[in-house]
A and B are shown apart, each in its own frame.
Chain A
């Protein structure tokens, strides 16, 4: 159904880009994302996106990508929202390290995780099998929406799904012990990368920091379960730094609790409103608790979640006999 892909990224709206420390705003006339790798651990850099919704002014660059220069080649995490991003990302990485790129990972099926794959010809782009199937099925719909939302930034972008399916595994590359693990809930297949050597976890879309989580492919119970798993790993000391795909990297660890808090509030709102007979048009005007007020991508992201998920709750409330 087309509406699904529309929901996945039908983004518009009015959220002002949140200014973010040292990040430079992209140059819209030269279509330069001004990607600036920032080192966060040994051999490890992130390229942070705007903490906002997709907007031409931020180049629709709202994702955090990353790379690890292992000593025996580079592992790249996510490729950004466009061909152009992938090309500029590739140059930005080459400016930091002369090591060849060995592996490009897309942590899930959403467009900003893989639309830069086009620029990574000649390198194995990899994702979980379920993510690749989703990229193939929904890539066209994503492209329609991103072209509409982002304009010129998308020039020449063709959805290019990851070429190789990967299985969860542990392996050593250069001086880094790496683990690919599969969790679920933000999407059906959420890949996370743990660098056991540096203690950095690349959590993908499971963790949002200071930004309202997106839910087009969410399974809320599984997502909460995955967040509990991440928290457990953190308490076991498996990682000490967490890179969320969206939100300031320095706030990544807090993102676990923030994402859980939001999902619990959202599901309680959905479950509690339907049995009272609240209509979707009324629910859209729900005031949000003040602890979420400063988060990015409002009110658009909440409205998208409600429009997508509330109708099923409404139907259930109608079929259930009155108490």
Chain B
């Protein structure tokens, strides 16, 4: 009897003595309060920790009126002078059926990128930024939505017109909008099918890269299914630099994208 009571007492003491267990935060300290964060961190950062910081900005509307085209801008310019500069920026929508949106390697461009995504339901949208010293920095916002954006076909898929424009590129440089840089806006025509609409397999652009005449890359993008149909992407390039580039890339069916881009 005495022994048993001791065991029980010890057990109780054990619980009390582990305050970290009693108060453990199931969101892993996520300022957006998302239960998915610990799992996402493990998936994308492995054992590394991320520092939540307002130096990583995600700009989005508070409410996504068009769940097929939610406009986002990610901005890590405040980290440029830190840790050797920015290696990559990963964008994730916690509660999308496909969570990974894109990875941006700014290389010689500014760490500032605008694009649009599909949103299946209200979700935190976050940007994980790795500096060259290996450190991770995280920022994000909560976006409300009626949702459904990942599971309905886009306009050109619905009317069948996508095949006439597949992988066509329109691009144009603009000046003097941010930091005296040159803004490049480009649109690649592609249905960006998520694979979540019955009978329509996933079909999306995987890689985009801007190269100069010497074949040197200026920035690189790895896209995933949640990027909106006919991606319209806005980048900031240094004011000084070549005027002739090529946009190269491919989709997951091996179709190539190769177009001249001239300032």
Pair A281/B60 contact, Cβ less than 8 Å: yes
Interface residues of A in 268-307 (CB under 8 A from B): 276-282, 284-285, 300, 303-304, 307
Interface residues of B in 59-99 (CB under 8 A from A): 59-63, 65-69, 71-73
Chain A, 2-45, contact with B by CB distance < 8 Å: what is the 0/1 string?
11001100101110000000000000000000000000000000
Pair A279/B73 contact, Cβ less than 8 Å: yes
Shortest A86–chain B CB gap in Å is 25
Given the known inter-chain contacts A281-B73, A282-B114, please indicate yes or no for A6 contacting B174, CB distance below 8 A.
no
Q: Which residue of B has the minimal Cβ distance to A300?
A: B63
Could you tell me the distance between the alpha carbons of A319 and B69 in the complex, rounded to whole angstroms? 20
Could you tell me the distance between the alpha carbons of A280 and B59 in the complex, rounded to whole angstroms? 11
Pair B66/A308 contact, Cβ less than 8 Å: yes
Pair B71/A2 contact, Cβ less than 8 Å: no
B residues in contact with A277, CB < 8 Å: 172, 174, 177, 183, 185, 234
Pair B63/A13 contact, Cβ less than 8 Å: yes
Given the known inter-chain contacts A280-B116, A281-B72, A308-B66, please indicate yes or no for A317 contacting B59, CB distance below 8 A.
no
In which size bucket is the chain A interface? 20 to 34
Given the known inter-chain contacts A277-B177, A280-B116, A281-B71, please indicate yes or no for A307 contacting B66, CB distance below 8 A.
yes
Pair B177/A2 contact, Cβ less than 8 Å: no
Q: Which of B63, B69, B173, B186 has the most CB of A within 10 A?
A: B63
Given the known inter-chain contacts A279-B185, A318-B185, A322-B172, please indicate yes or no for A3 contacting B68, CB distance below 8 A.
yes
B residues in contact with A14, CB < 8 Å: 62
Pair B65/A318 contact, Cβ less than 8 Å: no
Given the known inter-chain contacts A281-B114, A303-B63, A303-B65, please indicate yes or no for A322 contacting B144, CB distance below 8 A.
no
A residues in contact with B148, CB < 8 Å: 2, 6
A residues in contact with B144, CB < 8 Å: 12
Could you tell me the distance between the alpha carbons of A219 and B47 in the complex, rounded to whole angstroms? 54
A residues in contact with B155, CB < 8 Å: 1
Could you tell me the distance between the alpha carbons of A279 and B61 in the complex, rounded to whole angstroms? 13
Shortest A64–chain B CB gap in Å is 24
Q: Which of B66, B67, B68 has the most CB of A within 10 A?
A: B66
Q: Which residue of A has the minimal Cβ distance to B153?
A: A1
A residues in contact with B152, CB < 8 Å: 2-3
Given the known inter-chain contacts A2-B152, A10-B146, A277-B234, please indicate yes or no for A317 contacting B172, CB distance below 8 A.
yes
Q: Which residue of B has the minimal Cβ distance to A314?
A: B232
Pair B174/A282 contact, Cβ less than 8 Å: no
Pair B158/A276 contact, Cβ less than 8 Å: no
Could you tell me the distance between the alpha carbons of A226 and B155 in the complex, rounded to whole angstroms? 31
Could you tell me the distance between the alpha carbons of A311 and B116 in the complex, rounded to whole angstroms? 11
Pair B67/A3 contact, Cβ less than 8 Å: yes
Asked whether A136 is an interface residue with its Cβ less than 8 Å from the other chain, the reply is: no
Given the known inter-chain contacts A6-B146, A318-B171, A322-B172, please indicate yes or no for A280 contacting B65, CB distance below 8 A.
no
Asked whether A148 is an interface residue with its Cβ less than 8 Å from the other chain, the reply is: yes
Asked whether A155 is an interface residue with its Cβ less than 8 Å from the other chain, the reply is: no
Shortest B116–chain A CB gap in Å is 7
Asked whether A238 is an interface residue with its Cβ less than 8 Å from the other chain, the reply is: no
Shortest B55–chain A CB gap in Å is 18
Asked whether B187 is an interface residue with its Cβ less than 8 Å from the other chain, the reply is: yes
Asked whether A145 is an interface residue with its Cβ less than 8 Å from the other chain, the reply is: yes
Could you tell me the distance between the alpha carbons of A292 and B18 in the complex, rounded to whole angstroms? 57
Q: Which residue of A has the minimal Cβ distance to B149?
A: A3
Q: Apart from A279-B114, A284-B71, A319-B170, list 4 A-B contacts with CB within 8 A.
A: A282-B114, A308-B65, A314-B232, A317-B172
| Residue positions of B touching A, CB distance < 8 A | 59-63, 65-69, 71-73, 114, 116, 144, 146, 148, 152, 155, 158, 170-174, 177, 183, 185-187, 232, 234
13 example contacts (A-B, Cβ-Cβ < 8 A) are as follows A1-B158, A3-B68, A278-B177, A281-B71, A281-B114, A282-B59, A282-B73, A303-B63, A307-B71, A308-B66, A311-B69, A318-B171, A322-B172
